[in-house]
Amino acid sequence: MNLINVASAALILVALGAVAVAKQTSRPKTTLVAAIGGLLGVNGLTVLACGLALALTLLSPSSVLAQTADATGASNVALGAALATGLACIGAGIAVGIAGAAAIGGITEKPEILGRTLIFVGLAEGIAIYGLIISFMILQG
């Protein structure tokens, strides 16, 4: 099964779930527009792609990792490095989404706080870099 097919199927299932939730609310059109808009946002697609990659990594054993396995468990090194980077990037995507939304709201009310809000968004982005550094440390050891 192709990764693009899996991602497309996941997007369709999430969209159908959003439609089902929107039918149960008092304002279904507004709920549906907000859900689909959030799903199609850059952070939503990033989190979805990372989650799908993580699920595919955990559910399907790779032949490359299986061929390099030995008694010390060296096959888990690559999986550990991938998890460190993947989970850190998911966390960074969520943090940047929340901090960015708050920054936009703050800037619309008080434009002179632009520099301070960019610092908070940058700090949230640092989470992904920390995960990447940890994965390099795992692969070197």
| Predicted local confidence at residue 66, as pLDDT | 47
| Predicted local confidence at residue 110, as pLDDT | 92
Q: Which of 38, 24, 2 lies closest to 14 in space, CA to CA?
A: 38
What does the alpha-carbon distance between residue 19 and residue 23 come to, in Å, rounded to a whole number? Answer: 6
Cβ atoms of 92 and 125 within 8 Å: the answer is yes
pLDDT tens, the chain, 141 aa long: 566 666 667 667 776 776 777 777 777 777 766 666 666 665 566 666 666 666 666 666 555 544 454 555 566 787 888 888 888 888 888 888 888 888 888 999 999 998 898 888 888 888 888 988 998 888 886
Long-range CB contacts (within 8 A, 24+) of 132-141: 132/85, 132/88, 134/84, 134/85, 134/88, 135/80, 135/81, 135/82, 135/84, 135/85, 136/81, 138/77, 138/80, 138/81, 138/84, 139/77, 139/78, 139/81
Cβ atoms of 127 and 88 within 8 Å: the answer is yes
